[in-house]
């Protein structure tokens, strides 16, 4: 029987994990890294054409930077008092008011911060990395996977968190033992040759740290990976003591294995980066280049196009005045999220309007919790990485910088989606923090005594986006129509929602680059 590509990929994924499956997908033409190949080239004279850009997030500022360099007259309208959009960092002294009027004043000490939006940059997001290089944004490693971090479920191991390395090593060892014994018992005789069986068993002994009888048992060999009961030392009584592996049934029933492959997707494989000092260092770098083009606190209320150009009306977003200001341009790049654009008067085509109105936005919540000391380092030897839990906070991410430093430090004390995000969304900020401390203390009992202050951001209450990222009703049907300038269009749409990398900065930048190339082709062809 001939296997389909889907069946082949499924078999590879089950046998070798998501990393192997991704490379197989790439070979079969089903997966690619970022298609960015270098700076955009807008050749041809725009003859002083005027472009209005709506939104000073990364998509908008990318468009402003490149269009100005190509000779366009550019103006940017931004809802907020600063640029960056979801590329956003909160530091001590910042004040944030969410939809509904609840205001939080951040009390973090010194240079401590939290990134409510994007918080990491994969190695294969080439556009983001190239702009960081060009704009002199200093990057540092972001630690995604830490074998000393925790995996936790409330109904497993009496609610006690387990070290990642214990679950990962023991699961691999038990699976290797089962497969080696099945191979020797002839279970694969119809699948592989005798020579291949011998090589497979040899490989499984190395892969799973098995003994000569193909058993996964307590030994110095297994303890080198899962950790010793007593670590090897020096002086008297320094001999290591092997640790006892967890039983396979314990691991299977705990379902802690569900998180083992999280760091294997191409977006989470090493090396991952973060800007030193906060994600908005990228936004600030763009802003240094194009800030003079931006009108801040400008809430767009009307967007109209005709054969002669584009007319936009905006009001002051801080509520100081309801007076409308009108601006015109020859062309427009609109990066406003569809969750907001659908509430604005516009005369985009019926097709685009229907797509805009059909897109809903995912909800997400993040918690920035500042503690008096780095107890996760001092008490538990966790330096960076992520602990996962089935509690509503979903995970805890430890800072990847300033290791071993004294004084206060900030954890990402939760990052959740779906039903849990909706529950937190319904709470006031102080109640969200109370629950974040309660849940976190079940993994780190130090929470209540060490907590100092915190802030939470629930994205459905962020006024300038009303959600985390756009979700398509029918992407296969609608995507190309949404991203393509129609005949007679003076407006082109861009943003993370118009990419196949939703919620990633890479998607926003790539969408913007495609949008301005379409616009430039229209301008130069018209000339």
Contacts of 298 (CB under 8 A, 6+ apart): 77, 78, 79, 314, 315, 316, 317, 325
pLDDT for 289 equals 98
133: left (phi over 0), alpha (psi -120 to 50) or beta: alpha
Task: Report pLDDT for 2.
Answer: 41
In the block, tokens 């790539």 appear at 510
Q: Can you give the pLDDT at residue 38?
A: 81
pLDDT digits 0-9 by tens, 277-297: 999 999 999 999 999 999 999
Residue 99 DSSP label = T
For 321-463, where are the E strands, in sequence order? 325-329, 331-334, 345-346, 360-361, 364-371, 385-389, 395-398, 409-417, 451-458
DSSP labels, 288-335 = HHHGGGEE-SEEEEEEEEETTEEEEEEEETTSS----EEEEESEEEE-
DSSP string spanning 133-149? HHTT--EEEE----TTS
pLDDT at residue 433 in the model:
98
Distance from C-alpha of 93 to C-alpha of 481, rounded to nearest angstrom: 44
The number of CA neighbours under 13 Å toward the Cβ of 194 is 0
Could you identify the residue written with the tokens 């861009």?
494
Question: What is the per-residue pLDDT for 17?
Answer: 42
Give pLDDT tens digits for 201-249. Answer: 999 999 999 999 999 999 999 999 999 999 999 999 999 999 999 999 9
| 49 sits in which H/E element | none
Residue 54: strand, helix, or coil? strand
Contact 223, 209 (CB under 8 A): no
| Helix, strand, coil % over all residues of the chain, rounded to 5 | 35, 20, 40
C-alpha distance across the termini of the chain, in Å: 59
* Residue 59 backbone zone (phi > 0: left; psi -120 to 50: alpha; other: beta): alpha
At CA 162, angle to CA 156 and CA 168, rounded to 5? 105
Question: What single DSSP character describes residue 257?
Answer: G
Query: Cβ contacts of residue 448 below 8 Å, gap of 6+?
Result: 437, 441
Write the DSSP assignment of 361-382 as a string of letters: E--EEEEEEEESS-HHHHTT--
Tokens at 263, concatenated: 């760091």
pLDDT, residue 527, reads 60
Dihedral (C-alpha) 442, 446, 450, 455: value to the nearest 10 degrees?
-20
Low-confidence ranges of the chain (pLDDT < 50): 1-32
Q: Are 79 and 297 in contact (CB under 8 A)?
A: yes
* 108 φ, ψ (degrees, to nearest 5): -60, 150
String of DSSP letters for 74-89: EEEE-SSSSSBTTS--
């Amino acid at each position: 029987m001939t296997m389909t590509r889907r069946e082949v990929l499924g078999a590879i994924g089950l046998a070798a994990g998501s990393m192997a499956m991704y490379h197989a997908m790439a070979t079969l033409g089903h997966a690619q890294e970022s298609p960015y190949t270098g700076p955009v080239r807008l050749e041809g004279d725009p003859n002083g054409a005027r472009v209005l850009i709506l939104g000073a997030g990364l998509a908008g500022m990318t468009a402003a930077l490149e269009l100005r360099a190509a000779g366009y007259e550019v103006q940017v309208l931004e809802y907020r008092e600063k640029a960056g959009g979801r590329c956003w960092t909160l530091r001590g002294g910042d004040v944030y008011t969410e939809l509904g009027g609840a205001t939080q004043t951040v009390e973090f000490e010194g240079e401590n911060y939290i990134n409510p939006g994007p918080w990491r940059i994969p190695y294969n997001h080439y556009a983001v990395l190239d702009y960081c290089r060009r704009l002199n944004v200093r990057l540092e490693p972001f630690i995604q996977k830490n074998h000393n971090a925790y995996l936790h479920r409330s109904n497993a191991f009496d609610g006690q968190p387990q070290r990642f390395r214990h679950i990962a090593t023991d699961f691999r060892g038990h699976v290797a033992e089962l497969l080696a014994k099945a191979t020797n018992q002839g279970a694969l005789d119809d699948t592989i040759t005798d020579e291949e069986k011998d090589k497979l068993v040899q490989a499984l002994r190395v892969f799973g740290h098995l003994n000569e009888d193909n058993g996964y048992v307590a030994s110095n060999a297994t303890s080198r990976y899962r950790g010793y009961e007593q670590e090897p030392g020096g002086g008297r009584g320094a001999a290591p003591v092997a640790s006892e592996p967890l039983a396979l049934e314990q691991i299977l029933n705990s379902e802690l294995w569900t998180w083992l492959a999280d760091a294997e997707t191409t977006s989470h494989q090493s090396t991952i980066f973060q800007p030193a000092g906060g994600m908005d260092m990228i936004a600030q770098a763009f802003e240094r280049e194009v800030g003079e083009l931006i009108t801040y606190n400008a809430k767009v209320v009307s967007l109209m196009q005709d054969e002669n150009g584009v007319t936009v009306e905006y009001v002051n977003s801080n509520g100081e005045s309801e007076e409308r200001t009108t601006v015109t341009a020859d062309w427009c790049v609109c990066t406003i999220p569809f969750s907001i654009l659908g509430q604005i008067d516009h005369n985009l085509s019926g097709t685009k309007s229907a797509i805009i109105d059909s897109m809903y936005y995912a909800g997400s919540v993040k918690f920035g919790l500042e503690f008096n000391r780095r107890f996760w380092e001092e008490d538990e030897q966790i330096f960076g990485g992520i602990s996962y839990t089935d509690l509503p906070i979903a995970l805890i991410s430890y800072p990847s910088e300033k290791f071993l430093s004294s004084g206060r430090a900030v954890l990402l004390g939760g990052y959740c989606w779906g039903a849990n995000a909706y529950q937190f969304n319904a709470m006031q900020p102080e109640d969200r923090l109370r629950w974040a401390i309660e849940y976190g203390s079940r993994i780190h009992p130090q929470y209540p005594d060490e907590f100092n202050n915190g802030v939470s951001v629930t994205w459905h209450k962020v006024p300038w986006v009303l959600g985390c990222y756009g979700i398509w009703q029918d992407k296969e049907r609608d995507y190309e129509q949404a991203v393509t300038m129609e005949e007679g269009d003076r407006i082109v749409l861009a943003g993370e929602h118009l990419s196949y990398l939703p919620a990633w900065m890479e998607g926003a930048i790539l969408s913007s680059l495609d949008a301005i190339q379409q616009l430039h082709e229209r301008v130069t062809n018209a000339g």
